Structure 1
Amino acid sequence: MDCHAPATYVRRRLALVLSTLAAVLITLIPMSGTAAAHGSVIDPASRAYGCWQRWGSDFQNPAMAQQDPMCWQAWQANPNAMWNWNGLYRNGSGGNFQAAIPDGQLCSGGRTEGGRYNALDTAGAWKTANITSNFTVKLYDQASHGADYFKVYVSRQGVDTTAQPLRWSDLQLVAQTGRYGPSQNYSIPVSTSGYTGRHVVYTIWQASHMDQTYFLCSDVNFG
């Protein structure tokens, strides 16, 4: 009898179990992005949605570090922030957003969800979407929550959003809406003037189903 046979058998069984577990985990990870079934701004893409859209199928590619360094640092900090691109919200703010979210934490919703989205506050050259002075914010709402209102802000001309995290004083309100009925797609028309170059579009979505508020940073370039 081969005295090494039992050890070989155990090693093979262990390898099989580990490979099976890895396959299950790989299958489950992308699903976590849709399990929460909430929503986000998809055009101009929010930071988390844009990173998921560009790299969700290739998030371990080291080329991201050079091609898209802000997304790279966000993926490295917490991949679940991108898989859950639709879950950046706070409950119970009561409309007092500046009290709930300190300066420098606007893009993470005040470090909501246990700090999952903290890397989205990091200042730097996030990929931008090219827009004109008149543009439309498009939001996808998987769960059809509806909206009590939307507020859309643009960072002030002259504020360098690559040098410091966003502050409330950096923002100018450019659009505020009334109620939207339950739907999966919302469009908010925005008309501006005087903006050129890189800015952040900051969208606040007050959902209708409960006191649940989404805080979404989109990086843009006014052409």
Structure 2
Amino acid sequence: MHRPALPAPRPRTTTPARRRSAFRAVALLTALVLAMIPWASSASAHGSVVDPASRNYGCWLRWGNDFQNPAMQQSDPMCWQAWRTDTNAMWNWNGLYREGVGGNHQAAVPNGQLCSAGRTQGGRYTALDTVGAWKTTNIGANFTLRLYDQASHGADYFRVYITRPGFDPATRPLTWNDLQLVKTTGRYAPSQNYLIDVNTSGRSGRAVVYTIWQASHMDQSYYICSDVNFT
């Protein structure tokens, strides 16, 4: 008995509604993938002091490609505790800022919380306030501070402080009274690299360089701790 041939399958029609649904699904999947990449938010990031390296930039520089290495606990314990507390503090090393301070920095940032900008960003950077032997950058009495501004915000001003002689950041939390203002600048046009010459005299040993960067694009203030060793 001859069986009739089965009809060929009809081509599937893609309606506008189906196309919109597929587009939404692809967009959602892309967003989920990006959310899983810890450094994705840095694409529209801001900036920090890179020389002498800020605490979290230094941790990212040394361990960003090897942050799960257990050797960090012994060789770089302050970075180790920071990575364990919140890895995003290092992946987002250029996002340590507060908004709407209005120039009243000491009111916005309490003593003992200077390196985390008053536990800004929901406490993401709290580990940077931890007292201990942070890795240092060797500098001379006269040095050039370099700040990298990825988003080219510009600056209304920079203020650079150095901890007073005798202050030991390895044993004491940082307070405003521990700081000496050594440099105040004027405005900087938008750029990605700002160089600030800082002159001191008679300094030796460990210290913290504390930088306030008042960005120009809006009321956005950055508070940055860099551990140094005056040689």
Q: How do 1:156-167 and structure 2 match up within 5 A? A: 156-167=164-175
* Residue number among 116, 124, 142 corresponding to 1:134 in the alignment: 142
Question: 2 CA distance for matches of 1:178 and 1:112?
Answer: 26
Displacement after TM superposition at 1:78 (Å): 0.2
Q: How do 1:27-46 and structure 2 match up within 5 A? A: 28-32=36-40, 34-46=42-54
Alignment size in residue pairs: 201
Counterpart of 1:150 in structure 2 is 158
Counterpart of 2:63 in structure 1 is 55
Counterpart of 1:66 in structure 2 is 74
> What SS class does the counterpart of residue 37 from structure 2 fall into?
helix
Runs of 4+ in 1 over 2 A off after TM superposition: 24-33
Residues 1:107 and 2:115 aligned together: yes
Counterpart of 2:184 in structure 1 is 176
* Residue number among 198, 213, 220 corresponding to 1:212 in the alignment: 220
Give the aligned residue type for 1:35: A
CA-based RMSD of the aligned residues comes to: 1.6
The TM-score normalised by the length of structure 1 is: 0.87
> What SS class does the counterpart of residue 182 from structure 1 fall into?
coil
User: CA deviation digits over 1:68-98, x for unaligned, max 9?
Assistant: 0000000000000000000000001111011
The TM-score normalised by the length of structure 2 is: 0.84
**What runs of 5+ residues in structure 2 fail to find an aligned partner?**
1-28
Question: 1 CA distance for matches of 2:40 and 2:217?
Answer: 22
Residues 1:77 and 2:85 aligned together: yes
The answer on whether the counterparts of 1:140 and 1:186 sit within 8 Å (CA) in structure 2 is yes
Give the aligned residue type for 2:52: P
> What SS class does the counterpart of residue 208 from structure 2 fall into?
strand
Question: 2 CA distance for matches of 1:141 and 1:61?
Answer: 29
Greater Rg by CA: 2
Question: 2 CA distance for matches of 1:166 and 1:191?
Answer: 22
Displacement after TM superposition at 1:194 (Å): 2.0
**What runs of 5+ residues in structure 1 fail to find an aligned partner?**
1-20
